[in-house]
Amino acid sequence: MHAIAPLPDGKMPDIGFIDEMGWLMVWGTTLLFVDAILIILLYQKLGRYLRQAQFARILICVACVLTFDQAGFFTALHFVAGAPIAVFFGGWFAKMVAALTFSAMLVAYLRWFEARDVPLPRGLTDIFETLTYRERYEALVEHVGRDGLTGLLHRGRFDADGEAAVEVSLRTARPLSLLIIDVDHFKSINDRFGHAEGDKVLKAVAALLREVASVEDQVFRIGGEEFAILSSRPHPVARLFGESIRYAVKASTVTSRFELTVSAGVSSVSETTTCLGDLFALADQRLYKAKSTGRDRIVGEPGSHEPDTAIAWTKSAQF
């Protein structure tokens, strides 16, 4: 795209011309600074979706940032020097080829060279992760907030997240319900069939709770065989949700050696339950009632009838 041509208005190629173009150089340098930040931020964001597709992750990241860079610099160049649109597409095409080449070279380097001299094994040989450490830090935070056996959020997260959820519910008037779920006769399962079978039951119940919970629900393991769910459902719907859980556990095929059932207590944020402690105490009281009145049942607000399994499942299927 270059050609020999006189400068406009008869100007000579002296230092004064460079001074006039100085702000354009400042703009280009600023773009490079922004590019350096964007390339790391975008790489981190893509890690949520393309963590195992390293080539695609690097290529998309570099291509997007170079497209932004080309658009930003061409805009300034067009207004200063009247550069035609062909300059934009020519430069953009060259940068895309460079992005493809660079991505292939970087992946080859990470796969065949960088990993050789690492004394300790690590999951993903990743130069950007080495630079920022953020992904490993976030993964560590997520890991330490979960129960080791079931993978659910643990009691510490329940205390912190639950209190925050109650505050949001009170401030925004959005419903919030708590279900405390307990595996019936769990001690006898351990005593009769061993702790390995008990662990199998806990894992199966945890998997079922994750499956039936919505994306807005938070599922916790808060004790040995006790689980909790924080749900944005209003109380009647939360109670039917508990019935659907009870039915699903009873119908599961975790083991053929015994019938597996759960009981649960349900409470909701109200004028009398204005903190997590109140909410938990009320749900725990109702769980105790469910246990003492025969187990395999869900207890919610006093005065509500206890639907049988068929009715509960029919109603809960609507939600």
Interval 58-107: pLDDT, tens: 999 999 999 999 999 989 888 877 788 888 999 999 999 999 999 999 88
Residue 93 CB-density burial (10 A; 0-12 exposed, 13-18 middle, 19+ buried): exposed
pLDDT at 21: 72
Residues 128, 58: Cα–Cα separation, whole Å:
10
CATH 3.30.70.270 boundaries in the chain: 147-316
Determine the 3-state secondary structure of 92 from DSSP. helix
Residue 103 CB-density burial (10 A; 0-12 exposed, 13-18 middle, 19+ buried): buried
Q: Is the pLDDT of residue 2 over 60?
A: yes
Does 121 or 98 have the greater pLDDT score? 98
Residues 135, 38: Cα–Cα separation, whole Å:
16
Interval 135-164: pLDDT, tens: 666 666 666 678 888 989 888 889 989 999
Give the type of residue at 149: L
Confidence of residue 256 (pLDDT cuts 50, 70, 90): low
Mean pLDDT computed over 40-47: 85
Residues 99, 58: Cα–Cα separation, whole Å:
9
Mean of pLDDT over the chain: 83
**CB–CB of 293/221 below 8 Å?**
no
Q: Is the pLDDT of residue 34 over 70?
A: yes
Percent of the chain with pLDDT over 70: 78
Using alpha carbons, select from 225, 230, 105 the residue that is nearest to residue 166.
230
> Rounded to the nearest 10 degrees, what angle do helices 235-251 and 309-316 cross at?
120
Q: Which of 129, 135, 197, 225 is catalytic?
A: 225
Determine the 3-state secondary structure of 229 from DSSP. strand
Superfamily of segment(s) 147-316: Reverse transcriptase/Diguanylate cyclase domain (3.30.70.270)
Residues 263, 247: Cα–Cα separation, whole Å:
11
Model pTM above 0.85:
no
Mean pLDDT computed over 220-227: 92
Residues 60, 39: Cα–Cα separation, whole Å:
10
Q: Is 259 a catalytic residue?
A: no
Query: DSSP string of 236-267?
Result: HHHHHHHHHHHHHHHH--S-SSS---EEEEEE
pLDDT at 312: 38
Structure token digits, residue 249: 């556990």
Q: Is the pLDDT of residue 285 over 90?
A: yes
Strand order in the sheet with 298-299: 218-221, 226-231, 177-183, 262-268, 298-299
